[in-house]
């Protein structure tokens, strides 16, 4: 490792470098703005993120690489998640312009913090060393705390930030302890060396190893809000600015899944490459069963508690826990079918969850309510909103003809494809799908069937919002139909970097 | 190599013991006739009022936060400074980037007013220093 | 130094035969005791000097009663402090109250371990000496906050908080200015930093004014850094004009308000220890440490002649301006010049590096800092923060880049 190697590796980090420049530029630019004009930082951020997105597409990931002594990986897998994150960021920033909560306040830092959050996630999805994993996880966490408490004078926002900090601090501390255990057991922080050391050395005590990996999983589980590390989710989601709630429920979750998948499928499998052969777990550690249990509990708890929610944000929060449970099914599979299913699900989930949140935010702005029972008759009053909400709810349930159905189908196909072992998990998943039908469709019930009256004057959403919603709906409805480009893309993005 | 730090440690221990010796001498020869008033907290001769251990101004806390950021920066720069001569121009660029990022941080803190010790700037006070009163005075001056 | 000292002991005929390790331990303890004695005596002397300097600057006589010209005054003071009653206020946090002064003094003393007094006399010749001193001496803050908090006195708490804010604020500009020197020297070892300043050259290498090759004359950026370091260091040791933490007219005695007798003496001792430490650090880092400013005997002789001419001019200036005879500079330089020209031994001696030169430099710096006290009025708290964060800090960052650029332009580093 010498200096010229570092300089060479920097060439593979174009999006990250652009993003860093963008962050600095946004900070400097915001210093010259007043409270009224600070929204311009947001415009700058969106424009910059578009450039970052372009540079991501321009990357050639045919030859994957380990950068900086294998601190981060450069591969198609990381790029896929980076693209999802960038897209989600652009959509959320766009929606933030229309969020009433954020009006009439200095807004520059909001966009700066979001950009730093994206920066952390970029490194999180490509991290291949326990140190870089932990560092980027901390960047993501700390920025999330700040953003959750962005509404300074709002007590709920403060409460959510404090809760988030406490839970986050504890879980990252536990994770750090797990990392130190792994380091003690294997003598390395590099995940490839950890894998090699585990594969070569059968003498490592399985119980201790299990403990170490469970402790590390606490950190990831907190990020993806898997039960039993989900307690922060509803309160944070309810208190944070609504756009940030939408963002937290998709982007850091996708990033958390990315790093979890890479970590487990590299360190705990016989060969580090999921593309070539079906993965086999290292014999002394039955982590798939453990994760299957977590997955089943997560989706069940998420769905059952969501049934009782009356606040749309809380309902969506619990539903996002349930979705984390579905996605964990793909991790259990240990096959590239599972990986590609998760990639697909992450993409679709980003769109549909963001869409649902955006509609909820719009309803809060226009009709000043977050309670589901107050949605009565909205489907007729504001047809556009009603139709959009219907699509998102169908998709979240996993009903055809939406993208959510296909995504769920891939997940179940992957799970059933590995044989009879996890049939029970698939059945639990199906039952949960039925349960979720109730609370998703309850929203539509209030919108359309509780009261049927056609008003004289229809509510019209502003054009900006309509365009945003259409942009989200079109791929959700038709993206999987025409040749299924997302599917081919995800199948090609499953290759991790393997040294 | 380590023995240098051993020397430093020994120096600390010797210093501590010698100081302690002074305390022992003081114990032996010093007077011991304390009274309640003598052991009271000093507050300009008055009886102490209220609690001392209170919440302190947040400005000190902000300064401490900024200090930590920049002190860590200095710690990171020390290894660079030592090898700078050997590694040459490339590290110069890298450190330039590093320092620029921190300068942006400094500019941010500066512009946001967190380096300002006196936060509030009263243009006009109340009573006879109120805006209307002062304006009136100025008008009178001009008239004169 | 420990090694050679141990060997010297073993070479003595009357010395009992022991293992090398135990002799080393013995010499370490001796060095420790010696340094402590140096610090204690130094403090006693400096207090006397400070009182005399202050007196002369205010056209007074200063202490005159105890001993000839009051030389034993501070010894008497120290004895008196030792005999005072030990008072710990009932409301104070007893443990922290006792521990605080120890932390302050020990951090000050331990930092002295890495100071090079001469090429051979360095208690611990660490490879990271400079970094060690900077980090150890910043522990003082902990002790100050500890004792201020433990006193349970409003003045103490205010003083401690102010002091903490001040010390941490000024630590960063000081660290950055020292960094510039480290980049120049390429080492953190104090002796190597001194050796890199050997010889003589032109001012900033191109202004034709022959000067010793000290870092403060090496390039314009380090020249600025020298002054910034002096300012920052004055603030770090809480001396006037930065003595807000113990400003008598506002805060009684700052964080020391509740301390008396021997405990208060510890504060006093550590204050002067820190004072000397800063002077030593400045001398080492910017002024060539134990190096002689004269490279050759001929240079010494000519430089002394030039200095003599300057002293003559100064004396004449004072005579015409104030009608007073300023005799001391003229006498000292005149005697040195005559000695250097007449006795070759003296000329050789003053070109040798060693204890004499670092003592000269340190004493001049100490005099400079005492001079500050009677020249500059105390700053306000907001001005204090302003100077640190908005003046010194940007200049220090700029300076660091400037030094790096200078090194690149003068070809000290390559592409």
Q: Please determine, for residue A277, whether its predicted confidence score (pLDDT) is greater than 50.
A: no
Taking only residues 350 to 389 of chain C, the set having a beta carbon closer than 8 angstroms to any beta carbon of chain B reads 381-382, 384-386, 389
The confidence band for C84, taking pLDDT boundaries of 50, 70 and 90, is: confident
| Predicted local confidence at residue B126, as pLDDT | 60
Read off the pLDDT of residues C114-135 as tens digits, 9 standing for 90 and up. Answer: 888 888 777 777 888 888 888 8
Mean pLDDT, residues B26-46 taken together: 79
Q: What percent of chain A has pLDDT over 90?
A: 35
pLDDT at residue C221 is higher than 50: yes
Angle, nearest 10°, between helix axes C355-373 and C20-57?
Answer: 40
Distance from C-alpha of A237 to C-alpha of C130, rounded to nearest angstrom: 50
Contacts of A31 in chain B (CB under 8 A): 107-108, 111
Secondary structure string (H, E, C) spanning A288-352: HHHHHHHHHHHHHHHHHHHHCCCEHHHHHHHHHHHHHHHHHHHHHHCCHHHHHHHHHHHHHHHHH
Position B72 in a domain: yes
Asked if C175 and C304 sit in the same domain, the reply is no
Give the span between the Cα atoms of B59 and B57, in whole angstroms: 5
β-bridge partners, C202? C210
Residue C1 pLDDT exceeds 80: no
A289 within 8 A of A424, measured Cβ to Cβ: no
User: Taking a C-beta distance cutoff of 8 angstroms, is the pair A402, A480 a contact?
Assistant: no
B80 in a structural domain: yes
> Per this entry, what is the length of chain C?
415
Partner A contacted by B87 (CB < 8 A)? yes
pLDDT in tens, C139-172: 888 888 888 888 888 888 888 888 888 888 888 8
Q: How many residues does chain A have?
A: 499
Residue B87 near residue B81 (C-beta atoms within 8 A): no
Touch of C by B (3+ CB pairs closer than 8 Å): yes
Residue of B nearest to C27 (CA): B7
Number of other residues whose CB lies within 10 A of the CB of residue C34: 15
Burial (CB count <10 Å: 0-12, 13-18, 19+), residue C225: buried
* pLDDT of residue A273 exceeding 70: no
B95 → chain C, closest CA residue: C401
Check pLDDT > 90 for residue A46: yes
Which residue range forms the structural domain that includes residue C319? 300-351
Q: What is the pLDDT of residue B121?
A: 55
Residues C96 and C192 in one domain: yes
Average pLDDT over residues A142-152: 91
Q: Which residue of B has its CA nearest to A28?
A: B104
What is the rounded distance in angstroms from the CA atom of residue B105 to the CA atom of residue A28?
9
Residue with tokens 């004289």: A456
Close Cβ partners of C179 (under 8 Å, ≥ 6 residues apart) = B74, B77, B78, B81, C400
**For residue B125, is pLDDT > 70?**
no
Contact B122/A at CB under 8 A: no
What's the pLDDT score for residue A113? Answer: 93
In the numeric block, which tokens belong to residue C57? 């600057």
Interaxial angle between packed helices A423-444 and A287-307, expressed in degrees from 0 to 180 and rounded to the nearest 10:
20
pLDDT digits (tens, 9 = 90+) for C347-378: 777 777 788 888 888 988 999 888 888 888 88
Q: C65 with C74: CB under 8 angstroms?
A: no
Cβ of C113 within 8 Å of Cβ of B4? The answer is yes
Mean pLDDT within A420-432:
88
Confidence grade of residue A276 (pLDDT, cut at 50, 70, 90): very low
A428, pLDDT greater than 80: yes
Secondary structure letter of residue C293 according to DSSP? S
Q: What is the mean pLDDT of residues B20-25?
A: 85
SS3 C78: helix
CB-based contact (8 Å) between B103 and chain C?
yes
Domain total for chain C? 3
Mean pLDDT score, B50-75:
82
Contact predicate C317/C310, CB 8 Å = no
Is some CB atom of chain C closer than 8 A to the CB atom of B15? yes
Contacts of A247 (CB under 8 A, 6+ apart): A88, A89, A92, A114, A117, A147
CB contact under 8 A, B107 and A3: no
| pLDDT > 70: percent of chain C | 99
Q: What's the total number of domains in chain B? A: 1
On the question of pLDDT at C188 being above 60, the answer is yes
Could you tell me the CA-to-CA distances from C384 to A390, A473, B65, C242 in Å, in that order?
Answer: 62, 59, 18, 7
- The enclosing H or E element of A66 equals strand A65-67
Arithmetic mean of pLDDT over chain C? 84
CB A320 within 8 A of CB A346: no
Check residue A281 and give its pLDDT: 59
At A280, the pLDDT band (50, 70, 90 cuts) reads: low
Which two tokens mark A20? Answer: 């860093």
The SS3 call for residue C412 is coil
Distance from C-alpha of C300 to C-alpha of C298, rounded to nearest angstrom: 5
Collapse the DSSP code of C35 into the 3-class scheme (helix H, G, I; strand E, B; otherwise coil) and give the result.
helix
Phi, psi for A114 (deg, rounded to 5): -65, -40
C334, C223: one domain: no
d(CA A307, CA C292): 85
Q: Is C413 in contact with B85 (Cβ distance < 8 A)?
A: yes
Distance in angstroms (rounded) separating the CA atoms of residues A303 and A227: 12
Confirm or reject contact between C408 and chain B (CB < 8 A).
yes
Regarding chains A and C, contact by 3 or more CB pairs under 8 A is answered as no
Torsion angle of alpha carbons A117, A220, A234, A431, nearest 10°?
130
For residues B44 and C382, give the distance between their C-alpha atoms in angstroms, rounded to a whole number.
26
pLDDT at B122: 53
Query: pLDDT tens-digit profile of C297-327?
Result: 777 788 888 888 988 888 888 888 888 777 8
Query: Shortest CB distance from A31 goes to which of B91, B101, B108?
Result: B108
Nearest of C181, C133, C288, C274 to residue B4 by alpha carbon: C133
SS3 A302: helix
At C76, list the tokens: 């008497």
Q: In chain B, what residues touch C404 (CB-CB under 8 Å)?
A: 84, 92, 95-96
Query: Does the residue B50 lie in any domain?
Result: no
- Interface size between A and B, measured as CB pairs under 8 A: 14
Residue A92's CB: how many other CB atoms inside 10 A? 22
Cα angle C341, C346, C352; round to 5: 120
If DSSP codes are grouped into helix, strand and coil, which group holds residue B142? helix
pLDDT band at C95 (very low <50, low <70, confident <90, very high): confident
Question: Is C146 in CB contact (< 8 Å) with chain B?
Answer: no
Question: CB C46: neighbour CB atoms within 10 A?
Answer: 21
Q: What is the C-alpha separation between C352 and C355, in angstroms, rounded?
A: 10
Instruction: Report the C-alpha gap between C239 and C236 in whole angstroms.
Output: 8
> pLDDT-based confidence at A17, cuts 50/70/90?
very high
User: B16 to chain C: nearest residue by CA?
Assistant: C106
- Please name the chains neighbouring C, where neighbouring means 3+ C-beta pairs under 8 angstroms: B
Considering the domain architecture, whether residues C25 and C153 belong to the same structural domain is answered as: no
Name residue, tokens 């900070």: A27
Residues forming a β-bridge with A67: A72
pLDDT band at A53 (very low <50, low <70, confident <90, very high): very high
pLDDT, one tens digit per residue, over A92-145 is: 999 998 888 888 888 888 999 999 999 999 999 999 999 999 999 999 999 999
In a domain, B102, yes or no: yes
* CA triple C377-C380-C386, angle to 5 deg: 110
Give C74 to chain B, closest Cα distance, Å: 16
How large is the average pLDDT for residues A442-462? Answer: 84
Q: What is the pLDDT of residues B64-114, one digit of tens each?
A: 888 888 888 888 888 888 888 877 777 888 888 888 888 888 888 888 877
pLDDT at residue A282 in the model = 62
- Chain B residue numbers with beta carbons less than 8 Å from the beta carbon of C91 are 40-41, 48
pLDDT(B116) > 80 = no
What is the rounded average pLDDT of the residues A180-185? 90
Q: Both ends of chain A: CA-CA distance in Å? A: 15
A65-67 and C200-203 as β-strands: parallel, antiparallel, unpaired? unpaired
Which of C52, C83, C114 is the endpoint of a domain? C83
Separation CA C138–CA C159 (nearest Å) = 17
Does C168 touch chain B if contact means CB atoms closer than 8 Å? yes
Please identify, among C83, C102, C122, the residue that sits at the C-terminal boundary of a domain.
C83
What does the alpha-carbon distance between residue A177 and residue A169 come to, in Å, rounded to a whole number?
12
Is residue C415, in this structure, part of any structural domain at all?
A: no
Share of residues in chain C with pLDDT > 90 (%): 1
Query: Taking 70 as the threshold, does the pLDDT of residue C48 lie above it?
Result: yes
The verdict on a CB contact (< 8 Å) between B107 and A31 is yes
Neighbors of chain B with 3 or more C-beta pairs under 8 Å: A, C
Average pLDDT value for residue range A339-366: 90
Cα distances (angstroms) measured from residue C188 to each of C178, C256, C284? 10, 35, 12
State the best of B8, B36, B49, B109 to mutate against chain C, taking most chain C CBs within 10 Å.
Answer: B8
Q: CA gyration radius for chain B?
A: 29
C196 & C96 share domain: yes
Task: Let me know whether C74 and C94 are in one domain.
Answer: no
Q: Who has greater pLDDT, A186 or C348?
A: A186
Enter the tokens of residue A464.
Answer: 């900006």
Per CB-CB distance under 8 Å, the chain C contacts of B3 are: 2, 24, 124
Show the tokens assigned to A385: 């909103």
Write A416-419 long-range contacts (CB < 8 A, 24+). Answer: A417/A333, A417/A335, A417/A337, A418/A278, A418/A333, A418/A334, A418/A335, A418/A338
- Cβ distance of B107 and A24 shorter than 8 Å: no
Q: Domain containing B102: what range? A: 63-115
pLDDT of A35: 83
Strand partners, A82: none
At C241, the pLDDT band (50, 70, 90 cuts) reads confident
Output the CA torsion A419→A420→A421→A426 (10° steps). Answer: 100
Do C174 and C285 lie in one domain? The reply is: yes
Best mutation target, B101, B106, B114, B115, to test chain A (most A CBs within 10 A): B101
CA angle A295, A301, A306 (to 5 degrees): 125
Tell whether ipTM is more than 0.85.
no
For residue C99, the distance in angstroms to the closest alpha carbon of chain B comes to 11
pLDDT, averaged across chain B: 79
Which helix (H) or strand (E) segment holds residue C172: the answer is helix C154-185
Q: How far apart are CA C162 and CA B56, in angstroms?
A: 11
pLDDT at A283 over 60: no
């Amino acid at each position: 490792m010498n200096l010229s190697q570092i300089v060479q590796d920097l060439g593979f980090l174009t999006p990250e470098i652009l993003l860093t420049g963008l962050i600095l530029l946004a900070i400097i630019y915001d210093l010259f703005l007043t409270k009224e004009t600070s929204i311009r930082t947001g415009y700058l951020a969106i424009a910059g993120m578009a450039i970052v997105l372009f540079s991501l597409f321009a990357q050639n990931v045919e030859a994957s690489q380990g950068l900086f002594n294998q601190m981060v990986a450069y591969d198609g897998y990381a790029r896929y998640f980076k693209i999802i994150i960038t897209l989600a960021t652009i959509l959320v920033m766009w929606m933030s312009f229309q969020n009433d909560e954020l009006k009439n306040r200095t807004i520059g830092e909001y966009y700066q913090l979001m950009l730093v959050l994206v920066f952390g996630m970029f490194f999180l999805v490509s991290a291949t060393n326990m140190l870089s994993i932990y560092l980027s996880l901390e960047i993501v966490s700390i920025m999330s705390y700040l953003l959750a408490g962005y509404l300074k004078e709002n007590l709920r926002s403060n409460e959510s930030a404090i809760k988030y900090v406490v839970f986050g601090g504890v879980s990252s501390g536990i994770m750090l302890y797990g990392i130190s255990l792994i380091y003690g057991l294997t003598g390395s922080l590099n995940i490839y060396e950890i894998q090699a050391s585990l594969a070569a050395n059968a003498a490592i005590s399985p119980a201790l190893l299990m403990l170490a990996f469970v402790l590390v999983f606490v950190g990831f589980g907190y990020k993806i809000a898997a039960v039993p590390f989900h307690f922060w989710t509803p309160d944070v989601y309810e208190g944070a600015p609504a756009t940030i709630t939408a963002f937290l429920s998709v982007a850091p979750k996708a990033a958390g899944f990315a790093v979890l998948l890479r970590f487990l499928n590299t360190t705990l499998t016989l060969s580090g490459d999921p593309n070539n052969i079906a993965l086999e777990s290292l014999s002394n550690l039955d982590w798939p069963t453990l994760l299957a249990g977590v997955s089943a509990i997560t989706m069940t708890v998420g769905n059952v508690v969501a049934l009782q929610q009356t606040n749309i944000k809380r309902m969506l929060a619990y539903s996002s826990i349930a979705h984390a449970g579905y996605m964990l099914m793909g991790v259990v599979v240990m096959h590239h079918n599972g990986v590609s299913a998760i990639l697909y699900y992450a993409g679709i989930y980003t769109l549909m969850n963001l869409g649902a949140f955006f509609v909820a935010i719009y309803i809060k702005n226009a009709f000043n309510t977050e309670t589901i029972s107050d949605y009565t008759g909205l489907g007729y009053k504001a047809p556009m909103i009603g139709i959009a909400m219907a699509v998102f709810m169908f998709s979240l349930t996993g009903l055809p003809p939406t993208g959510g159905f296909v995504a769920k189908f891939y997940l179940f196909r992957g799970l059933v494809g590995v044989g009879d072992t996890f049939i029970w998990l698939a059945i639990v998943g199906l039952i949960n799908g039925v349960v979720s039908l109730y609370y998703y469709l309850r929203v539509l019930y209030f919108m359309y069937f509780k009261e049927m009256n056609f008003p004289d004057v229809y509510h019209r959403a502003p054009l900006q919002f309509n365009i945003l919603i259409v942009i989200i709906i079109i791929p959700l409805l038709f993206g999987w139909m025409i040749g299924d480009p997302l599917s081919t893309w995800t199948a090609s993005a499953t290759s991790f970097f393997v040294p | 190599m380590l023995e240098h730090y051993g020397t430093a440690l020994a120096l600390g221990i010797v210093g501590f013991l010698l100081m302690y010796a002074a305390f022992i001498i003081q114990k032996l020869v010093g007077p011991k006739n304390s009274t309640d008033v003598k052991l009271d907290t000093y507050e300009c001769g008055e009886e102490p009022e209220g609690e001392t251990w209170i919440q302190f101004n947040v400005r000190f806390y902000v300064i401490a936060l900024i200090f930590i950021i920049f002190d860590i920066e200095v710690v990171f720069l020390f290894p660079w400074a030592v090898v700078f001569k050997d590694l040459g121009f490339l590290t110069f660029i890298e450190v330039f980037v590093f320092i620029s990022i921190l300068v942006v941080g400094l500019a941010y803190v500066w512009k946001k007013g967190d380096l300002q010790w006196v936060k509030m700037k009263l243009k006009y006070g109340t009573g006879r220093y109120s805006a209307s009163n002062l304006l009136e005075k100025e008008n009178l001056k001009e008239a004169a | 130094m420990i090694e050679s000292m141990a060997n010297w002991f073993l070479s003595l005929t009357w010395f009992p035969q022991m293992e090398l390790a135990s002799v080393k331990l013995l010499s370490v303890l001796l060095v420790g005791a010696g340094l402590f004695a140096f610090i204690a005596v130094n403090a006693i002397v400096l207090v006397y000097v400070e009182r005399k300097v202050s007196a002369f600057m205010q056209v007074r006589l200063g202490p005159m009663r105890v001993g000839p010209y009051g030389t034993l005054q501070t010894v008497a003071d120290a004895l008196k402090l030792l005999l005072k009653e030990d008072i710990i206020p009932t409301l104070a946090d007893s443990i922290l109250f006792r521990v605080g002064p120890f932390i302050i003094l020990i951090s000050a003393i331990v930092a002295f371990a890495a100071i090079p007094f001469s090429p051979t006399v360095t208690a611990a010749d660490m490879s990271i000496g400079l970094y060690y001193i900077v980090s150890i001496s910043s522990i003082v803050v902990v002790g100050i906050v500890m004792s201020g908090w433990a006193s349970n006195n409003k003045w103490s708490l205010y003083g401690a908080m102010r002091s903490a804010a001040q010390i941490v604020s000024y630590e960063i500009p000081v660290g950055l200015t020292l960094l510039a020197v480290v980049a120049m020297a390429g080492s953190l070892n104090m002796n190597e930093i001194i050796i890199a300043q050997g010889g003589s050259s032109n001012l900033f290498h191109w202004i034709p004014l022959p000067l010793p090759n000290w870092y403060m004359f090496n390039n314009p950026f380090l020249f600025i850094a020298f002054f910034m370091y002096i300012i920052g260091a004055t603030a770090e040791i809480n001396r006037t004009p930065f003595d807000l933490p113990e400003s008598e007219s506002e805060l009684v005695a700052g964080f020391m308000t509740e301390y008396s007798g021997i405990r208060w003496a510890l504060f006093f001792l550590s204050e002067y220890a820190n004072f000397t430490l800063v002077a030593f650090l400045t001398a080492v880092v910017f002024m060539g440490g134990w190096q002689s400013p004269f490279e050759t005997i001929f240079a010494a002789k000519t430089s002394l002649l030039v200095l003599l001419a300057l002293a003559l001019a100064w004396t004449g200036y004072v005579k015409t301006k104030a009608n007073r005879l300023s005799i001391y500079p003229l006498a000292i330089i005149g005697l040195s010049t005559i000695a250097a020209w007449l006795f070759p031994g003296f000329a050789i001696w003053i070109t040798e590096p060693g204890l004499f030169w670092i003592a000269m430099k340190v004493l001049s710096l100490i005099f400079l800092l005492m001079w500050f006290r009677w020249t500059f009025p105390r700053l306000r708290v907001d001005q204090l923060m302003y100077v640190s964060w908005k003046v010194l800090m940007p200049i220090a960052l700029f300076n660091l880049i400037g030094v790096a650029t200078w090194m690149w332009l003068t070809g000290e580093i390559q592409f």
